[in-house]
Structure 1
Amino acid sequence: MQASHDLAILNSLIEAVLDSSQGYGEAAEQAKNPMIADLFRRWAGERARVVDALRAVARELGGRPADNGTVLASAHRMFMELRAHMSKGDKAVVQEVERGEDHIKCKFEEALAQTELAAPVRAAIENAYASVKRGHEEMRDLKRAYE
């Protein structure tokens, strides 16, 4: 029972981080400023590493890790693309990425609020959350620079 609960939490986070990685990749394609595009590509790669680490823990539990993102994120990415094309600017892309960062940070905080997580699962989520939090802070600061 414990393993299935932990696996469900892990898979939810894996899906969110996959969405984030894909969102960063798409944001890199939309960004006009090469430095911002490089930043987004770096975060896409970092999120891919987080996915790999969470998947390894899911496998250790004997489960099958999630292999794709959520349908909701696909809709969000389409909206982000539409908005970016309409506004034709990095500011809109940065705002959407930061909004996505708020979402993923909240998902990790909800997972960490679970008191019944097994210690190795909690440790993996905490490690992943450190990366998520850094990404959130960097995007928040970038968004503020555009304001």
Structure 2
Amino acid sequence: MSNQSLDKTISVLNDLIETSKDGEAGFRTCAEDVKNAELKTLFTSRARECATAAEELQAMVLGFGGTPENDTSVAGDLHRRWVDLKSLVSGKDEESILNECERGEDVAKKRYAEALKNELPLNVRELVQRQYEGVLRNHDQIKALRNTARARS
């Protein structure tokens, strides 16, 4: 692998690490804000899955001799502040929290789809594809829960 393609691969992986860290922090925030015990458990589980995804990506960056990202993105931090503010104003209702979770998952879907447009080594592509499928499942589940909460209100 050329230095240029190695640098590009590490850059793609680091972007996904930030995305996973954003997801972890976002789901933790939602778990803290929601009152429904089932949703709290779901969000806590999703936060752990995002943490595991970040760890897998970090290990891959280290394997390529790179320095893995270890923090959330500025955009993710801003989104969580927005969730906190919106939750205060809206009374932290389930639908609002699920809306914000879905918005976060929309960002993750986009970033993973963009990552898969790159030329990546097979082992990297397989990991990113597997994680992307998890993001899609999360998104669809959150969206279904949000639609159910919306129908109840």
Give TM class, smaller chain.
over 0.9
State the structure with more CA Rg.
Answer: 2
Match of 1:112 in 2: 116
Pairing partner for 2:42 from 39, 42, 47: 39
- The percent identity for this pair of structures is 31
Q: Say whether 1:122 aligns with 2:92.
A: no
Q: Say whether 1:85 aligns with 2:88.
A: yes
Q: Which runs of 4+ in 1 moved over 3 A?
A: none
Unaligned runs of 5+ in 2: none
Pairing partner for 2:106 from 67, 84, 102: 102
Partner-residue secondary structure (3-state), 1:62: coil
Unaligned runs of 5+ in 1: none
Q: Distance in 2 between matches of 1:124 and 1:104?
A: 15
Q: Distance in 1 between matches of 2:37 and 2:85?
A: 20
Q: Distance in 2 between matches of 1:113 and 1:86?
A: 39
Aligned CA RMSD, in angstroms, stands at 0.9
Q: Distance in 1 between matches of 2:148 and 2:6?
A: 43
Shift of 1:72: 1.0
TM norm structure 1: 0.96
**How many matched pairs?**
146
Q: Whose RCO is larger (CA < 8 A, sep 6+)?
A: 1
Contact 1:13 1:107 in 2 (8 A): yes
TM norm structure 2: 0.92
